[in-house]
Structure 1
Amino acid sequence: MSTWKGAVPGADAQFVAKRQAILREAAASFNRKGYHGTSLTDIAETLGVSKAALYTYVKSKEELLYFCHDVAMGAAEESVRQAREAGGTHLQQFCAVMRNYLRRILSNEACYVVLLEEHALPPDKVALIIERRDRFEAELRSMIAAGIQDGSVAPCNPKLAVFAALGALNWVQKWYVPGGEWSGEQVAVALVQFIERMLSAHPAPALNVDPSLILVGAEGVPAPASA
């Protein structure tokens, strides 16, 4: 029988929610100040809890960083799965991955760390993250190569194209301001339009001049403007 008729979250749900709050704050601090510029004391003070309380949910700052990378790679893998299922040209699939991944990075619930400081982790954890990152990049390169074959992508070097696209996406957390002029979803749509135009065999003649005017549908793609 559920306690309080389910009105009050159970112990397991509370544990998950609290650890998620720690991960979000840790990720925000890692992205803003860097891994070495962040301390568990800083995270605890921002959350209004004691440093000792954090150890109920994580063992160390290293473990926090690993969890943030783990969640980021899970988002990348899920973005690939969704794009493959949606179909379309391989350029459309590639752009769907980029857009969905960036939406997740910029969401209010995000706890992802830009993959720039993975070497702060122990070697075994680094190996796990790099293996997953390499698989993700290989999926993206295969989309670009297939896009060249289906005529949707201009002939190019797939490896360099993926590096350029991911470099643009992973830098967003350095300049994006939540609650600012543009929403995370508007940024995701507008930035990926630049990437799409860069790669397309038939580039659009123009792009959105003002991302704040982009209407975004439930699936993170531009919605038709109302008349």
Structure 2
Amino acid sequence: MVTHVITGAGSGIGAAVARRLHARGDELVLHARTARRAEELVAEFTGARTLIGDLAAPDRLSGEFSYQSLPERVDSLLHVAGVVDLGPVGELTPEAWRHQLNVNLLAPVELTRHFLPRLRDAQGHVVFVNSISGLYAGPGWSAYGASKHGLKALADSLRYEEHGSGVRVTSVYPGRTATPMQAKVHQQEGTEYDPEKWIDPESVATTIVMALDLPRDAEVSDLTVWPGR
């Protein structure tokens, strides 16, 4: 049985990927911040297991996991969860920087470190759902962009380090996608949100599942997904 550990499965791209993998019978281990959220995920994805921990406090994740039942096998680790808080450099507080760096970068670092032995055993796959902001950060996107540029560096380094172990590493850089996060971005920008203008999360999920399903003789390192409208 193929087992996937997924963060951010509650909405947007993460939920779209989880639905695809669940529908074909793969085993899911879904991250949740609270026990209540874990119950909601299990109700939506029958048969899935959950892993509870606060991504905003990455230094506590290993301790939280030590009290939970972890999967013996991990075929893929999908980092999809993320947060965004826009603002000029002169106005963003250290708290805003810290929160985005913790959730978007340091939590994936810690989760990857934690599951890497299992990924090596399975010759598994790590997928980092990054952002166009991981390649270019415009005005107001400094903290979010810094966290995503760091995520790119993490993926690139991990890919070289683990090539010999058979672990594949893919970064996906979606443009603006019709998710709850995008609705929040528009609210912060003070602009009207029209989901029809942006990428459907299902389209991004298609690229992720494609990368996961590639035969062992190939690896996709980077995928950029732009709005087609």
TM-score, length basis structure 1: 0.33
Q: Could you say which structure has the higher helix fraction? A: 1
